[in-house]
Amino acid sequence: MREILHELIESIGDREDIAIATVIETWGSSPRPLGSKMLVTASGKMAGSVSNGCIEGAVFEEAQKVLKSAKPKIAAFGVADDVAFEVGLACGGHIEVFIQPLGKAHRQLVAMLNRDQPATLTTNLVTGEAEVTEGTPTGSELARRDGDVFIEPFRRPAHLVIIGAIHIAIPLHRLAKLMGYRVTVIDARAKFATRERFPEADELMVAWPDEAMSSITVDSSTYVVILTHDPKFDLPALRSVLRKPAGYIGAIGSRKTNQNRFDALRKQGFREEELARVHGPIGLDLGSRGAEETALGILAEITSVRFGGSGASMRQVKAAS
């Protein structure tokens, strides 16, 4: 959403009309999740995708009709089994797409996203009226439909804060960048927090954890990983985030190590519900102890927390459904 809206609006401005198509409902197999978007201009330019190719042509035609009539509409599409197979699905499905002229609310949303402000876009699917409000609801960051209203939260870009520039942090910061995170690496030891070791980090901070965290905005889009494994770093780091609304807090170390940390924090006045926010031992168990696999397990756990996953294998999930 951020990329396609910004790209198209910046290149076209107000020179021509734009229609925006949004996936608002799916049944069966669906190649794209709720909230997926495609933009179509009156002159025929396209950006984004609502189905990875199988219904884009039909959506394009419907978008042109919407631009001519200036009236929004819901378009329903069935994806046949043979077409679904061609685009990588096991079977067909059904998709509903809401198509509307791009309006003032969408441009306002882009401006807020460009300032890294969290925002929520609420669209009335009957009237087509859209409204942008600052901030996002608590819980999942996924789009959802509530009757005739479609609600899309847009948090600030996901921000991974790594405290402790140890060996595991190197593959972790690379994986996080691959997943689209903004990455900050913090360590008080200048010889560890170097550009040579962390070439892809957006920000390197040579500072004590509590000092560094005081200058970082922490909200539900912030994911904090503490890898220092040393009380003189761990405790200030935990103190600096436990009472802030971070989306994830994880600390490396054994159960005994974490218990020792928690005992020290209890003496400093932290409550059990605050300590319970810490994921430790950190990460999902992938059955290996290499740095790359450990980093993958950490990012897998963050992803599960971020999108409300169970952390179970898909085989288990499907068997239980």
Phi, psi of 163 (to 5 degrees): -105, 110
Residues 316 and 233: their CA atoms lie apart, in Å, by: 38
CB 262 within 8 A of CB 231: no
Q: Which residue has the tokens 């963050």?
A: 302
Which conformational region is residue 119 in: left (phi greater than 0), alpha (psi within -120 to 50 degrees), or beta? Answer: beta
Q: Is the pLDDT of residue 284 over 90?
A: yes
Q: What's the mean per-residue pLDDT of the chain?
A: 87
Q: Provide the residue type at 36 as one letter.
A: S
Average pLDDT over residues 78-104: 68
Query: Whole-prediction pTM value?
Result: 0.75
Residue 194 has pLDDT above 70, yes or no: yes
Among candidate residues 16, 17, 14, 93, the one with its CA nearest the CA of residue 52: 93
Whether the per-residue pLDDT at 84 is higher than 60: the answer is no
Domains of the chain: 2-117 (no CATH), 159-307 (3.40.50.720)
**pLDDT tens across 218-269, in order?**
988 899 999 998 999 999 999 999 999 999 999 999 999 999 999 999 999 9
pLDDT, tens digit, 9 for 90 and up, residues 34-78: 898 999 999 998 888 887 667 788 899 999 999 999 999 999 887
Using a 10 angstrom Cβ sphere, with 0-12 exposed, 13-18 middle and 19 or more buried, the burial of residue 27 is exposed
Better pLDDT: 310 or 299: 299
The pLDDT value recorded for residue 33 is: 81
Q: What is the DSSP string of 59-94?
A: HHHHHHHHHHHT--EEEEEEE-HHHHHHTT-SS-EE
What is the pLDDT, as a whole number, of residue 206? 97
Say yes or no to pLDDT of 23 above 50: yes
Across the range 3-30, mean pLDDT stands at: 74
* pLDDT category of residue 90 using cuts at 50, 70 and 90: very low
